[in-house]
Amino acid sequence: MSSRDDEFSDWMLARQGAMHRTAFLVCGDRHTAEDLVQTAAAKLYLAWDRVSAQGNVDAYMRRIIINERNSLWRRPFKKRETVTDEVPESAHADGGDDPMEAERMWAAVRSLAPRQRAVIVLRYYEDLSEAAIAEILGVAPGTVKSQASKALTALRKTIGSTFDIQEQV
């Protein structure tokens, strides 16, 4: 195996779980998330030398995942939403200690429009800045702000005031 392959393999071993969680939270379906990560990994491998030299591998991988999800979403046979009772393990807080409240929160997130869901996941789960999210999604930072605001408004209507959802200005 070449050093390029070793570098890619090491990165995938270290980041695959996080990328699966992000993909799952963006699409809401474990099988689709696995497909997204697999497709994104193949595309990342092809661009590995260029992307790893720039030092933005995680952002590039997230961008591919989001783009692939958007491509799936545009296909007529994939427009059905799939609801699941499972949320992958997270290193981050997931809405409190009560699993029922956490599930209600993630169900509300899954009900958002795809772009709003992507913004919420990248901002509050991945803890990325608005500028980083804008770059990943290929939109202006103002679009990220407006999508986050709309998503938070929808979440507040759906889950009420039991969760402390705050916009970060």
**pLDDT of residue 124 exceeding 70:** yes
The span from the CA of 167 to the CA of 150, in Å, is 11
What's the pLDDT score for residue 56?
87
105-130 average pLDDT score: 88
Query: Can you tell me the distance from the alpha carbon of 115 to that of 46, in angstroms, rounded to the nearest whole number?
Result: 26
Going by C-alpha positions, the residue among 50, 23, 13, 55 that lies closest to residue 125 is 23
More confident residue, 1 or 168: 1
CB atoms within 10 A of CB 33: 22
DSSP 77: G
Residue 84 pLDDT: 66
pLDDT for position 92: 46
Q: What is the DSSP track for 15-58?
A: HHHHHHHHHHHHHS-HHHHHHHHHHHHHHHHHTHHHHHHHT-HH
pLDDT of residue 87: 63
Is a pLDDT exceeding 70 seen at residue 73?
no
What is the pLDDT averaged over residues 92-115?
75
Q: Which fold is adopted by the domain 1-80?
A: Rna Polymerase Sigma Factor; Chain: A (1.10.1740)
3-state secondary structure of 137: helix
pLDDT band at 155 (very low <50, low <70, confident <90, very high): confident
- pLDDT at residue 91 tops 70: no
Q: Is the pLDDT of residue 48 over 90?
A: yes
* Residue of 163, 142, 150 lying closest to 111 (CA atoms): 150
Burial of 5 (0-12, 13-18, 19+ CB in 10 A): exposed
CA–CA gap between residue 147 and residue 140 (Å, rounded): 11
- pTM reported for the whole predicted model: 0.56
Q: What are the extents of the domains in the chain? A: 1-80, 94-162
Q: Is the pLDDT of residue 1 over 50?
A: yes
pLDDT of residue 142: 93
Fold entry, domain 94-162: Arc Repressor Mutant, subunit A (1.10.10)
Asked whether the predicted pLDDT for residue 135 surpasses 60, the reply is yes
